[in-house]
Chain A
Amino acid sequence: MTTVQAARGPETPIMAIAGASVSFGAARVLDGIDLELRRGEFVCVVGPSGSGKTTLLRLLSGLQPATTGTVFHQGTVQNGPARGVAIVFQDYAHALLPWRTAAGNVSLALEAAGLPRAQRADRIAALLATVGLAAHADHFPAQMSGGMQQRLQIARCLAQDPDVLLMDEPFGALDAMTRQKLQDEILRIVAASGVTAFFVTHDLEEAIYLGDRVVALEPNPGRVGAIFDVPLPRPRTQLSTREHPEFLRLRRDLFDFIQQFEP
C-alpha cells in the first residue's frame, strides 16, 4: 500500500502546513499554523470550541483554501481536493448516497477513479470485508445503523486509495459502545493500510487512545497551542491502554491545557 517515494524519501512529511491562516470575512479562524504530518502516523486534534478544528481539517483536504500560507501534499503545493486525501465526515447520513446500496456507495469512488467495471466488484467486496460489512453489500444506508453507515463511509474513503485519511469527529454521533468498537477498527484499518491518519475529536481520551501525537489547538483565533507525543505501546486495547499511567498523565495534561480556555 505505501508508496515509497525514492526522490523525497520517507523522512519528507506527507503533508505540511506552513504559516497558514484562514479568515471568513473579517473573522480570523486559524492563524499562523505550522504543522507536519509524518508518513504513516496517527495525529489527533483536540481543542475547545471555536479553535478551528474542522477548518484545519478542511484546509488539509483542499476544500478550504488558505487565506495566507501554503499547504503541501507529497512535497508539492496543494491547490484543491486531491484523490490521495480522503475525508470521513461526521454526518454520514449526508455524505453517503441514500439511493445507492453499500456496494454502490463504495463503487462511486472507484467510478470516479476510472476503474473499469469488470475490476470493481472484487475491490468492492474486499473493501466491504475490511470494514466488516461483507454481509450488507446490498443494503441501502437507510437500512443500516449509524455505526454501519460510518463503516461504509470509511470503506468509500479507502476505495480512493488515499495516502492521507482525514476524519472529522467521525464517531461523535455514535453511542459509547459503537464508538469504542469503531476506535479499535480504525486503528486496525489504519495500521493495515499504512495510511496517514488525521483525526479531529472533542473527546480527549479518544485522542490519546488513537493518536501517536495529539495536537491541541487554542481558540480565537485558532493556533497550535501544544503538541503532545503519545508514547503508549501498540496494539492498544480498551482496558489496559486506558489504565496505563502514561495515558492518565496525558489525560491530565490535556485536560489542564483545554481547561485554561473554558470560561
Chain B
Amino acid sequence: MTAGVVGRARGLILPLALVVLWQALASIRGIESDTLAAPVQIVGALGDALVNAEFWIATRDTVLSAALGLALGGVLGAMTGLVFGLVPPVSRLMRVPVEVLRPVPAIALVPIAILIFGFGYALEVAIVAFAVFFPVLILIEAAVRGVEPRLTEVARLLRLSPGARIAKIVVPAVLPRAFVALRLAAGLALVVAITVEIAANPMGLGARMILAAQSLRAPDMFATLIWVAVLGWAINAGLVRAQAALFPDAQRPR
C-alpha cells in the first residue's frame, strides 16, 4: 500500500515540476505569446468559468449530447450485436456492408447531419450514435459468441424457449463484457461530442475551446481543455467503480 502511494507520488514529480517551471518562466520573462498562458492565469480562468452559468450550460450540452448519443448508438449496437451473435448467418451476410461502413470516420458525416438536422443537439447525438454503434456491435457480438457452450447446452436440456434462453442465459452471461463495452463507448462518446463541437456545432465545451482559441484567449482555452480532461477522468473512474461493484467476479479492466 505504502509502496503504491510512493510510486504514485513519484509519478507526480514530473508534471508538477513542469508546471512550476512553466510558471517560473512566465513570471520572470513575462508571457508575450498568444499561444501559452501561465498556470496561474489558467487556474484563474478555470475559477472564473466555474462560477459562470454559461460554462455550466456548455458542460451540460456536451455531456447530454454524449449521453443521448451513447444511449441511442449503444442500444442499437447492442441489439444488432445480439442478433449477429445469436444468428451467425445474419452476421456473415452483413459482414461486407459492416466492413465498408465501419472505417467511415464519424466526423465526416457532420456535413450530412448539418443538412438534415441543422446545428444543435440532434446533429451531435446522431454523430455520436454512429460513432458508438460499430464498436458496441462488434464487442457485443464477440461477447455473445463467447458465451460458454456448456450454458447453451444447459438451456437446451432445460428446454427453454428461445426468448427465455436469451433472457435467462445469454444476457446475464454477456452482461459483464457488455459493461466493458459501455465503458469504452462512454469515453468515445465524450470525445466524439467534443470533436463535433470543435469542427462545426456551435455549442458545448468544444465550441467554447475553439472560440477561445480563435479569439486568442489562451487561458480560457487551456482552462476548458483541463475541464474536458477532468470530465473524461471522472466518467471513466465512475464507470470503473460501478463495474467493480456490479461485477466483482469479472476480470479486472486493464
Whether A and B touch (Cβ < 8 Å) is answered with: no
- B residues near A (Cβ < 8 Å) are none
